[in-house]
Chains A and B, each alone.
Chain A
Amino acid sequence: MDEATATSTGPQTGQPGTARLPRPLRALFRVWRSSLRVRVMTTTVVVGVLGVGLLGALLSGQVRDGLFEDRRDQVLTDAAARTEEAQERFDSQIAANVQDVQDVANDVVRSLQEDAVGNVGVLIMRSPASQAPSDLLLPATDRALAERIEPELREQVRAESFQQWQSVALPSTTADTTVPGIAVGSTVTLPIVGEHEIYFIYSLATEAQTLDVLQQVLVIGAVGLVVMLVVMAWYLARQVLDPVQSAARTASRLAEGQLTERMQVRGHDELAVLGSAFNDMAHSLQDQIERLAELSRMQQRFVSDVSHELRTPLTTIRMAAEVLHAEREEFDAAHRRSVELLKTQVDRFEELLADLLEISRFDAGSAMLEVEDIDIRDVVQDVVSAIEPVVQDSQSHLRVDLPQRDCRASLDRRRVERIVRNLLVNAIEHGEGQPIDVRVGADDVAVSVVVRDRGIGMTAPQAERLFDRFWRADPSRTRTLGGTGLGLAISLEDARLHGGTLEAWGTPGGGASFRLTIPRRAGLTVTDHPLPLVPARDAPEPAPQHTAQDPAGPATVPDLEEPDVEVTR
C-alpha cells in the first residue's frame, strides 16, 4: 500500500466493521467484545430492568384502575343516595315563591356538603330546558367548581335521565397542582322552578396518595431487585469465569514452560471437573515433555560418552599408526600402502569424532563463545594463508577482496576460523578449479564474509539441505578433501552462536555463494547484510537484497527465470 492510499483511508484501528464508529463507542465495543463478564452483566441488567419495569407498570396500572373503580362505585352510590335525599327534601317543601326555593336549595346544598366524605362540592345548575326565572341564584358550595364540569357531561346529564359521571381535575388545596376527582351529575326537580341539574364533585386525593405510596414502594422494590440482579450476575459470572480465567492463566504459564503450574480445584462441581481435567492434561504433558527431555539428555550424554570413550583406544591406534607410518619406507609396497591408508583413515576417524563431539556440545547447549575484539579481515587472511597448499593442489585460485574500513567484531576466533575454513574447503572441493572469490564487508552493525565459487553449483532443494548433518549433494561423489559431512552443520551452529547467519545460494552449473554475517557486538540485530549473497551480475533485477523487510529470517532471492533454483538459508 503506498502512502497516498494509506492517508486517504485514514487511520485504521480496531476491528474491521467498527472503523466508522466514533472513538468512545469503538472503545466500548472492544470492551464488549473482549469481556464475557461485561456482556453477561450488561445483558442481565438490561433484561432485568426491562422485566421489572414492565412488571411495575402493569402492577401499578392494575392497582390504579382497581382503586379508581372502587372509589367510583362508592362515589356513584353516594351521589345517587344524596340525589335522592335532595329530591325528597325538595319534594317535601311547599315553596311559595322563588325565594323559598332559593332558601331550600341553599339549605339542601349545605346539608349535602356537610355530611359527605371526600365530597368537595355540590352544585345545582340550571337546565337549559327549565322555565325557572333567572333571578334564582343557583346554590353551590364552591362556584369555581362549575368551570370544572365539562359541557359533555352536562349534555349527557340532560340527555339521559340516569346519573352520569366524569373524571375531573380539581385544584389542589396545597399547591398549584391538581388532584383527580369525579364529578357526578343527575337531575332534580325543584319546586316551582322545575328541573335542574345537580352535581356532586368528589376528590380522589386519598386514592392518589395511596397510589403514589404504592408506586414509590414499587420503584424502590424494582431498584432493589435490579441491584440484586447485578450482584447475582456478577457473582455468577465470577463463579463461572474465574476458573476459566485461571485455566487461561495456567495454560499460558504452561506454554511458557512452567510445567509444574496447576489449577486450584475446589469442590466437586462442573468447574472442579474442568480444573482436574485440565490438571490431568498438564500432568501428562509434563510427563511427556520431561520424558522427552530426559531421552534427549540421555542421547546427548551417550554421544558425548561414546566420543570420549573412543578417544583412548583411538589415541593408541593413532600412535601405533604414526609409528608404523614413520617407518613405511622399510616396508614392501603392499604394507606401505596399508600403513598409509591406516594413517589417513585414522586421521579421518579422528576428525569425525571431533566433529561429532562438537555437534553433541551444540545439542547439549554447552557450546560457549570465547569472544575477543578481532578484525575479521585478519581471520580471513590467516585462514587463506593456512589453506594455501590445498588451493595449489586443487589448481584453483583464491581472489581475496578485503575492504579498507575496519572490520572489528566480537568474535570467537576458533569458531570463525573454522567457519571460514569450512567455506573455503567447500568452495575448493566444489569449485572445479575455477577462481574463488572471498569478499569481506562491514557496516555499522555487522561484518560479512562471502565465499563464491563457480563450480557445479546446486539446486534449491540441495541448498535447503546443505546444512543438514551428513548430507551429500551427490552421494556418488567422493569427498576429495575428506571432510566429515558435519562441517557446514557445525559452521551454521557456530554462526548462530555468534547471533549471526550463514546462508547459501546456488544455481546448477553457475556455482554457489555462501555468506557469513556476524553482528559486531552481541545483541545487535542484523537487518541488512554488508554484502550481497548473490553477486550483482548474477542477480536478476531488482537487486536481491530483501532482508531488510524480514529481520527474523534470511530472504529468499527471487529469480524470475528459474524461481525454484535460487535459495538462501
Chain B
Amino acid sequence: MEARVLVVDDDAALAEMIGIVLHSEGFVTETVGDGAAALETFRSTNPDLVLLDLMLPGMDGIEICRRIREESGVPIVMLTAKSDTADVVQGLEAGADDYIPKPFKPKELVARVRARLRRQDSNGSEHLQIGDLVIDVPGHRVLRGDEAISLTPLEFDLLVALARKPWQVFSREVLLEQVWGYRHQADTRLVNVHVQRLRAKVEKDPEHPQVVVTVRGVGYRAGTPS
C-alpha cells in the first residue's frame, strides 16, 4: 500500500518539489500551506507521516506538532532552517520524531521518511520484559500488569531496542542508528529528548527511572525485569 505523507509547508515551491520527489519514490502526498488548516487536513487525510515546517503562518509548527501528538502517534518529521536553535528541541519535546535541516537532498528526505515508516520486524509472538513492563512486540502493545501504556511508534521502537538486549548499554549513537536509522553521526538531542518523553510515559517516577536507566558517560540500558 502506498504510504500517505502530509506536507505542511507555507513555501509552495518547496512543498511542490517535496511532492515531486516523494511521488517519484512511490508516496502519495497531500500539501497544506496554512498552519491553521493543517490540523483539519491531518484529520481528513489521516496520513502515515507528517512533514512539518517549523515556521508557518497561522499556527506555528511546534503548536501543530503538539496538537497532532495529542490525538495520534503518527510519525512527525520537522523541516527546519535553524538546526542549532532551541526550535529543534522544542519541536522534539512537542512530539516530533525526527527533523531534517534545510537544505536537504532528496535522498536524505526519502531516507528519513522511509526510516520513520519502516516497521520493526516482528516474528511470531515475541514478548519482552523491561523493568516491570511487558512488551507485546507483534501486538505493538506495552503492558504494566493489565494496564496498556500508549506509546508512539518511535517510542515503542526505542523501548524494544533496549529490551531486546538488556545486557547491553546503548550509546546514543547506537540508538540513533538502530531506532532512527542514521548511518552517520546525528544529533544526540534526538535521543535525549525521546528518552525523556518515553520515561514520562513508562516510568512510575521519572525522577528515578527503573525502565530506561542512564549509564553515566555511556548511554542507556534496559532496567532489570522485575
Contacts and interface: CB of A to CB of B under 8 A. Distances in A.
Contacts of B185: 413-414
Interface in A236-260: none
B216 interface: no
Contact of B81 (A312, A322, A366): A312
Contacts of A59: none
Nearest to A358: B84
Given A323-B20, A361-B84, A414-B185, A312 B14 contact: yes
Interface stretch (B97-105, B111-119, B120-128, B151-159): B97-105
B82 interface: yes
A569 B162 CA distance: 49
Sorted nearest first, the 3 A-B pairs with minimum C-beta distance are: A315-B103, A311-B102, A311-B81
A312 B102 contact: yes
A314 interface: yes
A322 B105 contact: yes
Contacts, number: 50
Nearest to B82: A308
Interface string B6-48: 0000010110011011001000000000000000000000000
Given A313-B13, A316-B14, A323-B21, A350 B103 contact: yes
30 contacts: A308-B82, A311-B81, A311-B102, A311-B103, A312-B14, A312-B81, A312-B102, A313-B11, A314-B102, A315-B17, A315-B102, A315-B103, A315-B104, A316-B13, A316-B14, A316-B17, A318-B103, A318-B105, A319-B18, A319-B20, A319-B21, A319-B104, A322-B106, A322-B107, A323-B20, A323-B21, A323-B24, A353-B103, A361-B84, A366-B84
A319 B16 CA distance: 11
Contacts of B81: 308-309, 311-312
Interface string A338-375: 00000000000010010000000100001000000000
A320 interface: yes
A308 B82 CA distance: 7
Interface of A is mostly: helix
A98 B102 CA distance: 150
Interface of B: 11, 13-14, 17-18, 20-21, 24, 81-82, 84, 102-107, 109, 185
Interface of A: 308-309, 311-316, 318-320, 322-323, 350, 353, 361, 366, 413-414
A312 B11 contact: yes
A359 to B, nearest CB: 13
A361 B83 CA distance: 12
Contacts of A414: 185
A319 B11 contact: no
A316 to B, nearest CB: 5
Contacts of B17: 315-316, 319-320
Contacts of A353: 103
A323 B106 contact: yes
A314 B102 CA distance: 8
Contacts of B104: 315, 318-319
A311 B84 CA distance: 14
Nearest to A367: B84
A469 B28 CA distance: 45
B11 A316 contact: yes
Specify which of A309, A312, A320, A414 lies most central, judged by the most chain B CB atoms within 10 Å of its CB: A312
A309 B21 CA distance: 22
Given A311-B81, A311-B103, A322-B107, 19 more contacts: A309-B81, A312-B14, A312-B81, A312-B102, A313-B14, A316-B11, A316-B13, A316-B14, A316-B17, A318-B103, A319-B14, A319-B17, A319-B105, A320-B17, A322-B105, A350-B103, A353-B103, A413-B185, A414-B185
Nearest to B10: A312
A17 B84 CA distance: 61
Specify which of A311, A315, A366, A414 lies most central, judged by the most chain B CB atoms within 10 Å of its CB: A315
A318 B84 CA distance: 21
A353 B17 CA distance: 21
A318 B107 CA distance: 11
Contacts of A309: 81
A309 B11 CA distance: 11
Contacts of A320: 17
A392 B105 CA distance: 26
Nearest to A354: B103
Contacts of B107: 322
Specify which of A313, A316, A361 lies most central, judged by the most chain B CB atoms within 10 Å of its CB: A316
A322 B17 CA distance: 11
Specify which of A313, A319, A320 lies most central, judged by the most chain B CB atoms within 10 Å of its CB: A319
